[in-house]
Amino acid sequence: QHREVWLTATWNEILRMSFDCVCISGERETLDLRLAGIELITLCSQVSCKAGIGAATNTARVGTNMEVVGGALRSVRAATTVGDRNQGSLCSTPIEPEVDQLRHIFFDLAFSKLVDFRTYLESFKGYNIHDTESPYVVDSVMTQVLTKLTGELSKLYECCKSDEMSPGSFKLRLDLFVEEDHKYESQLVNLLLVILDNADADKTSRYLNQVQRGCISMLQTMASNSSLQAFKALAKLSGDSMFVARETIRAGNSTDDDDSDDGYGEVLELEASKTVASAFDSGDMSSEAKIIVMCSVLTQYLKIHGLHNESGVNN
């Protein structure tokens, strides 16, 4: 009992110091501390998840299934996989219920720090991020911090996608994006959306920046794992790009004032719409999931164009 109390207190102190490093104010001289804090928090989450940190390592194939037979390469046996072999040995080790309960507590404590960082980013929502007098200015340092965070979150999801962040049961309803019971999967999707809101996007750029690319890539990975929360987020990000041709959007936004916000995030919307559209060509999703995604897309259409259709105006 004394060891458990000491370990919990130590775990909390490690997470507290890591979070303080992430939120430290300063310029480039604080970058290493911020990156270290991000890495340590996500590392604690990986270590304490059910699958363990080994689930995030890349699967290595050893040996070969090819041999020269009659002067030509031919397949003779299946190649062995190191990742699968090690994972099997880890799963065969029984875990006592008390230890598993403590592990779950540690994971919840570590993941809650990521949620706290989401709250930290949301606290600057009312400020203009390009205002030099704002307490929060998106600069190259913060961009590197958010890029590091998206990369570490991707590793964390690989560890948790089959357990803590596995897609839950779904029901046919209009609003899928509800953070029920504070599930880890929903919280992760919300964190990615907040990171996207804080990404320093260039309106004139034809490409996604590192932060946007990392978030979209992770939402795509979650969507391929049949995460309806990720699909709902992608449908929200896509705006009306799924319903209007790209040339039409540009024509509608081409005004004398090129600095208007109408074209903001056009590339991001296009990438998100591609992912949503590709879901219906994928064999990984069930028919029920595809129906729910389609309902989400139709709901998005009604929100954007529903009033125009009622008034008889052609879109």
User: Model's pTM, two decimal places?
Assistant: 0.75
Residue 127 has pLDDT above 90, yes or no: no
- Provide the pLDDT confidence category of residue 66 given band limits of 50, 70 and 90: low
Compare 188 and 171 and report the one with higher pLDDT: 188
Q: What is the pLDDT at residue 170?
A: 60
- Six-digit token string for 121: 């980013």
pLDDT, tens digit, 9 for 90 and up, residues 257-284: 444 343 336 788 888 888 888 777 777 6
Q: Residues 223-234: what's their mean pLDDT?
A: 83
What gap in Å lies between CA 274 and CA 171, rounded to an integer?
24
Average pLDDT, the chain: 75
Radius of gyration for the alpha carbons in the chain, expressed in angstroms and rounded:
23
pLDDT interval class at 193 (50, 70, 90): very high
* pLDDT at residue 227 in the model: 84
